[in-house]
Amino acid sequence: MQFYQLGGFVTSQNMNRRNFNVGYHLTDVNFSEKALLKYAAEKNDGKLKKNILNKIKEEKSKTFLSKILYYETIQ
């Protein structure tokens, strides 16, 4: 069973906008990290990629009952 992540959809749609606000999507839109990693790769933005990976690492390090399993699916 696969779950559809609305945050990822919203982020991927907004990436096409001229006034796309990366910071907002990184901090305020949940479950947008996969789309943002793709965006960082397309824009060759190493700093953004590092920030996203740090956020994922923090989420993965939480105890099992505190984890959001979405972050376990990000490679």
Assess whether pLDDT exceeds 60 at residue 1.
Answer: no
Contact criterion met (CB below 8 Å) for 36 and 17: no
**C-alpha triplet 74, 49, 30: angle, nearest 5°:** 55
Q: pLDDT tens digit string along 8-27?
A: 787 888 888 888 888 888 88
Q: What is the spatial distance between Cα 44 and Cα 55, in angstroms, rounded to a whole number?
A: 19
Task: Record the pTM.
Answer: 0.71
